[in-house]
Amino acid sequence: MILPTYDDVVAAAARIAGRAHKTPVLRSRTANTMLGAEVFFKCENFQRMGAFKFRGGFNALARFTPEQKKRGALAFSSGNHAQAIALSARILGMPAVILMPQDAPAAKLAATRGYGAEVITFDRFKEDREALSRQLAEERGMTLIPPFDHADVIAGQGTAAKELFEEVGELDHFFVCLGGGGLLSGSALSARALSPRCKVYGVEPEAGNDGQQSLRSGQRIKIAVPQTLADGAQTQQLGHLTFEIIRSKVDDIFTATDGQLVDSMRFYAERMKMLVEPTGCLSLAGAASSGLDLRGARVGVLISGGNIDLSRFAQLVSG
C-alpha cells in the first residue's frame, strides 16, 4: 500500500490550476459568536459542479496514459463524484460511464447526464456496486476511479485545505465532512504540512459513524448503509488508504444528527446567504456539537458541497 503524501497534494494543485476554482474563504460574525471562536469557512459549495470532488476527479483523470484516455473513465457514486468524473472527462476529452443509485437525488442524476456521461443505474440496497463497476470496467476496458480510496483522488481533495491554510495561515482546529475519507485524509496531509499543531477532525452522520468506530477501535469497521439526510456520506466503511492516513493524522471523529444538519443548512442560508447540501453541513454541525472548548481559537470549517434540489431544500428548512 503506497500512501499519498503532501508532495502529491502539491503536484495535484499544479495539475488542477486554472481548471478548478480557488474557492473563497468566508467569515461570519454570527458564527464567531456562536462558537466563541474565529471561524474560517472554506466554501467548496462554490467549486465547479458544486463540490470539492472536482479536485480529486480531475487530478486522477489528468494522470491517465493516452491509452487509458482513449477508453475513458468509469465511476460509481451516490452523486457528486459522478458529476466530478463526468465533467473532468468532458474537459479532458474522454468518454465516461457512471454507475449511480436509482434513488440518487434527481438534480445529481440530471447534472451527470448533462455533463455528457453515460449513466447506468442500480439498486444500492440489493446490488454490490463495486462488483458491478469492476465488471463494467473490464468489459469496456475503462479505468475505474473510486470515489475516495485512490491516491490521486486523495491528493486532489487535499488541495482545498492547502488553499485554506495558504490563505489564512495556521489554525487551531479544523473540521472536515467525512464519508469514505478522501476529503479528510487529503485535508490531513495539508494540515500536517502547513499547520502542524492544528487539530484535525472528521464529522460524519450519527447514523453512520463507521469512521468514529474505526478510529477508536484501530480497525476498519463496516456498517449497514446508514439512513441519513447526508446522502454524500452514506458510506459503509473507510477505504484502505484513507483509514491509514486518518489513523495517523486525524485527532478525532465527531458525529452530527439530521436535526443538527438542518439547523446548519438554515444558518448558512439565513446568515451567510449560501445553499449548502446536508452533507456539506457536517463540519459546522460537528464543530457546534463537539463539546470542545473552542473559545478564542482559530477554527477552520470545510463546507464540502452545495448540491441539493431546491424543493428538497425548502422542505427541510421549513420543517
CA distances from 193 to 24, 42, 169, 257, 277 (A): 21, 18, 12, 32, 29
Minimal distance, residue 287 CB to ligand PLP, in Å: 15
Sheet holding 96-101, edge to edge: 118-122, 96-101, 73-76, 143-144
Burial class of 181 by CB neighbour count within 10 A (0 to 12, 13 to 18, 19+): buried
- How far apart CA 168 and CA 40 sit, in angstroms, is 8
Residue 123 dihedral angles phi and psi, to the nearest 5°: -95, 110
Known catalytic membership, residue 70: no
- Which amino acid type is present at position 90? R
Q: Does 184 bind ligand PLP (CB under 6 A)?
A: yes
Cα–Cα nearest to 81, from 144, 161, 5: 144
- How far apart CA 279 and CA 229 sit, in angstroms, is 7
Q: Does 205 bind ligand PLP (CB under 6 A)?
A: no
Among 233, 245, 253, 274, binds ligand PLP (CB under 6 A): 233
Piece of the chain touching ligand PLP by CB under 6 A; list 108-116, 125-133, 252-260, 273-281: 273-281
What 3-state DSSP class applies to 306? Answer: coil
- How far apart CA 319 and CA 299 sit, in angstroms, is 30
Q: Helix (H) and strand (E) counts for the chain?
A: 14, 10
Q: Does 260 bind ligand PLP (CB under 6 A)?
A: no
The number of residues that bind ligand PLP (CB under 6 A) is 21
CA distances from 279 to 27, 174, 265 (A): 20, 16, 10
Catalytic residue (choose from 28, 42, 53, 190): 53
Q: Does 203 bind ligand PLP (CB under 6 A)?
A: no
Of the pair 4, 182, the CB lying nearest ligand PLP is at 182
Q: Does 278 bind ligand PLP (CB under 6 A)?
A: no
- How far apart CA 218 and CA 56 sit, in angstroms, is 26
Catalytic residue (choose from 28, 77, 78, 214): 78
Among 183, 246, 250, 256, binds ligand PLP (CB under 6 A): 183
Of the pair 198, 253, the CB lying nearest ligand PLP is at 253
Q: Does 305 bind ligand PLP (CB under 6 A)?
A: yes
Of the pair 80, 195, the CB lying nearest ligand PLP is at 80
Known catalytic membership, residue 53: yes
Minimal distance, residue 70 CB to ligand PLP, in Å: 28
Of the pair 261, 292, the CB lying nearest ligand PLP is at 261
Which residue's beta carbon is nearest to the bound ligand PLP? Answer: 305
The DSSP line for 44-83 is GGGSGGGBTHHHHHHHHHHT--HHHHHH-EEEE-SSHHHH
Of the pair 64, 148, the CB lying nearest ligand PLP is at 148
Minimal distance, residue 285 CB to ligand PLP, in Å: 12
Q: Does 177 bind ligand PLP (CB under 6 A)?
A: yes
Q: Does 4 bind ligand PLP (CB under 6 A)?
A: no
Tell me which residues are annotated as active site: 53, 78
Residues at the interface with ligand PLP (CB under 6 A) = 51, 53, 80, 147-148, 177-184, 232-233, 235, 277, 279-280, 304-305
